[in-house]
Amino acid sequence: MTVTRSSTSTETSGRPTIPWAWYSDPSILSAELERIFRCSWQYAGHLGDLQGPGSYFPSATGPVPIVITMDAEGALHGFVNVCRHRGAIVATEPARRGTLQCPYHAWTYNLDGRLRGAPRSAEDPAFAAGCLGLRPVSVDTWGPFVFANPDPGAGALASALGDLPEVVAAHGLDVETLRFNGRFTYEINANWKIAIENYLECYHCPVNHPGLVEVIDERRLEVEAIGLRTSQFYPAHPRSLEGRGPFDVQGELTSGQNHLWFPNLKFNVLPGHPNLSIGPLWPTSEATCAGYLDYWFAEDVEQSWIDDLYELDARVGDEDTALVEAAHRGTSSGMVEAGWVLGGTESLIGYFQDYLRARLGAA
């Protein structure tokens, strides 16, 4: 395997892992929520989730509930999707209407977040509607993709993305030409970090993903880590290029690419026709996580090819879930303090764990 390195890429020598207690300690999860998820840009959905001006959609943007709105002038806004009255979730489904209304007590907000009305509030002389609007978050887009950051004063999305858009395009994918096809959600009984680390290496692929390694040539895998991006690039397997593999990779894309954009965005492209699966994974407890993938294809890709990709992806997903859940059971046993990250083949895991160490400090 070739390791492409930059001035900020991870070292390729091996090292001990983070303490395995970090995978099951509730206090570590609390620190992650505060120092990572409440102050980082995360994938929130796509512009197709909106229905034009005067619409909105709720987003599972990590553990923080977010609602994305488009006002009557077509401007995007983002808010914490929590009513300022008693804390209920305001938006539960995408809709096109001029206001957001909490289903609990019917407090109503404009799509710019201002509180428009609260039943019986006139009976309260201390009531101050101007101070009780929805809490804003930062929101921005890359192509058709919508991102949000719970920190309203966050730096620009473009700065956080770094060179990811250019790298994706340089490897043959034009995201502007893709069309949304479907969303698939999943849950895993494991700590979110174990699931991310599984995504960051293909060391396990020959043993556990026999179908996948006939599609991609993992022996020629190249990896790169810079800024908030880790990347894996792989050519199509010669067997599949000859039509002898389980999946037809003959198309415009002769190689695939997987990116993890920190902290939790997966970005996947398989060889063949233009395709993409993109989505976040986030903790739901110290021992569970959840996520989704939005699938995109070029407009002229045949449905039969899309179905084959879905079948392969579902099979690999099931195989990975079993591996990750078994790893969580082992790391949470309390009998072993830490493991080992192999140099080279697992260098991206080391880079991710350095990111965690830098943000969690002595937590």
Which residue ranges make up each domain of the chain? 2-39+159-360, 49-153
Q: What is 49-153's CATH superfamily?
A: Rieske [2Fe-2S] iron-sulphur domain (2.102.10.10)
Q: Is the pLDDT of residue 3 over 60?
A: no
The whole-number pLDDT of residue 5 equals: 39
pLDDT for the residue 7:
33
Q: What is the amino acid identity at position 139?
A: V
- pLDDT, tens only, 46-64: 999 999 999 999 997 778 9
Interval 248-298: pLDDT, tens = 999 999 999 999 999 999 999 999 999 999 999 999 999 999 999 999 999
Please give the pLDDT value at position 12.
Answer: 65
Burial class for 134, CB neighbours closer than 10 Å (0-12, 13-18, 19+):
buried
At 189-234, the pLDDT tens digits run: 999 999 999 999 999 999 999 999 999 998 899 999 999 999 999 9
Q: Look at 9-23, 72-86, 107-121, 251-265 and tell me which has the smallest mean pLDDT.
A: 9-23
More confidently predicted of 362 and 121 = 121
Mean pLDDT, the chain, integer: 94
Stated pTM of the model = 0.94
Q: What is the pLDDT of residue 179?
A: 98
Could you tell me how far CA 88 lies from the centroid of its own chain? Answer: 25
pLDDT for res 61: 76
Contact 39, 150 (CB under 8 A): yes
Amino acid 11: pLDDT: 53
Rounded-to-integer distance, Cα 273 and Cα 51, Å: 28
Q: Which of 291, 287, 236, 284 is nearest to 260 (CA)?
A: 291
**Residue 121 pLDDT > 50, yes or no?**
yes
- pLDDT tier at 245, thresholds 50, 70, 90: confident
Q: Give the CATH architecture of domain 2-39+159-360.
A: Alpha-Beta Complex (3.90)
The two structure tokens encoding residue 111: 């799509």
pLDDT over threshold 50, residue 2: no
Q: How far apart are CA 326 and CA 323, in angstroms?
A: 5
Does residue 183 have a pLDDT over 90? yes
In this prediction, residue 243 carries a pLDDT of: 81
Task: Quote the CA–CA distance of 46 and 262 in Å, as a whole number.
Answer: 19
pLDDT at 10: 45
pLDDT at 240: 85
Res 272: pLDDT:
96
Identify the pLDDT of residue 8: 39
- Over pLDDT 90: what percentage of the chain? 91
69-105 per-position pLDDT tens digit: 999 999 999 999 999 999 999 999 999 999 999 999 9
